[in-house]
Amino acid sequence: MTAAFDLHADGAPPADPLDLARSWLPADDDPDRPQVVLSTVGEDGCPDARTVLLSGVDGSGFAFHTSRGSRKVAQLAAVPRASMTVLWPGFTRQLVLRGPVVAEEAGPLTRAWSARSDHLRRLAWLNTDELAAQDLAARRLGWAADVPVDAGSTPAPSWVGFRLRPVELTFWAGGADTASRRLRYVRQDDGWRWQHLAG
């Protein structure tokens, strides 16, 4: 059995890092989504970062969803690579991913939309720079605006999804009674190589 603060049970770690990631993270249908820091390369070459929700994890990558007109989408169009830092649960485990990012296809996008809360779906329809520039009373009025009746099943046109397909995953675990440590997996032509590192 794996102690809550350790990387994995004693012995060799799982051969596939996605198996370890899935054992660390909540199931995709758990409404308690991890908040992750998504780092991209700015158009000026300077790193950029922001928090997003991790929508889910499967063989095609680590999914997140956002607004088509956002800065991160423009940055990913120019440099389709990113890093994700997942701190989950807080203070005991961290997972850092690096790799290419691809746009999500229509099927998974619609499923992810249906799993979003009403509040987050409303945000995707209504959250604009124009609304953000108004005073509080006007923003409350704007928030009360109608959204399309099929809003529960049809993603807002502005809503897009991406998947980070990691080529490197670094798991970190720390506890009070021994040193923190890391486990880094790097993808090779013939599978994954892993190595334990100081934390």
Ligand X SMILES: Cc1cc2nc3c(=O)[nH]c(=O)nc-3n(C[C@H](O)[C@H](O)[C@H](O)COP(=O)(O)O)c2cc1C
* Residues within the interface to ligand X (CB under 6 A): 35, 48, 50-53, 64-67, 70-72
Give CA angle at 132 (104, 40), nearest 5°. Answer: 40
- Quickly tell me which residue has 């993808």 as its tokens: 187
Q: Which residue's CB is nearer to ligand X, number 53 or number 151?
A: 53
Q: How far is the CB of 77 from ligand X (least distance, A)?
A: 12
As given in the structure block, the two tokens for residue 101 are 């990012």
In sequence order, what DSSP letters do the residues of 147-195 get, joined into one string? --TTTTTS--TTEEEEEE--SEEEEEE--SSS--EEEEEEEETTEEEEE
Q: CA nearest 160: which of 113, 197, 91, 120?
A: 113
Q: How far is the CB of 132 from ligand X (least distance, A)?
A: 11
What residue type is 195 in one-letter code? Q
Q: Which residue's CB is nearer to ligand X, number 35 or number 178?
A: 35
Q: How far is the CB of 51 from ligand X (least distance, A)?
A: 4
Q: Which residue's CB is nearer to ligand X, number 87 or number 186?
A: 87
Q: Which residue's CB is nearer to ligand X, number 53 or number 115?
A: 53
Q: How far is the CB of 124 from ligand X (least distance, A)?
A: 9
Q: Which residue's CB is nearer to ligand X, number 132 or number 137?
A: 132
Q: How far is the CB of 111 from ligand X (least distance, A)?
A: 16
What residue type is 45 in one-letter code? G
Helix, strand and coil content of the chain, in percent to the nearest 5, comes to: 25, 35, 40
Q: At what angle do helices 136-143 and 118-126 cross, to 10 degrees?
A: 110
Q: Which residue's CB is nearer to ligand X, number 123 or number 147?
A: 123
Q: How far is the CB of 142 from ligand X (least distance, A)?
A: 18
Map residue 41 onto helix, strand or coil.
Answer: strand
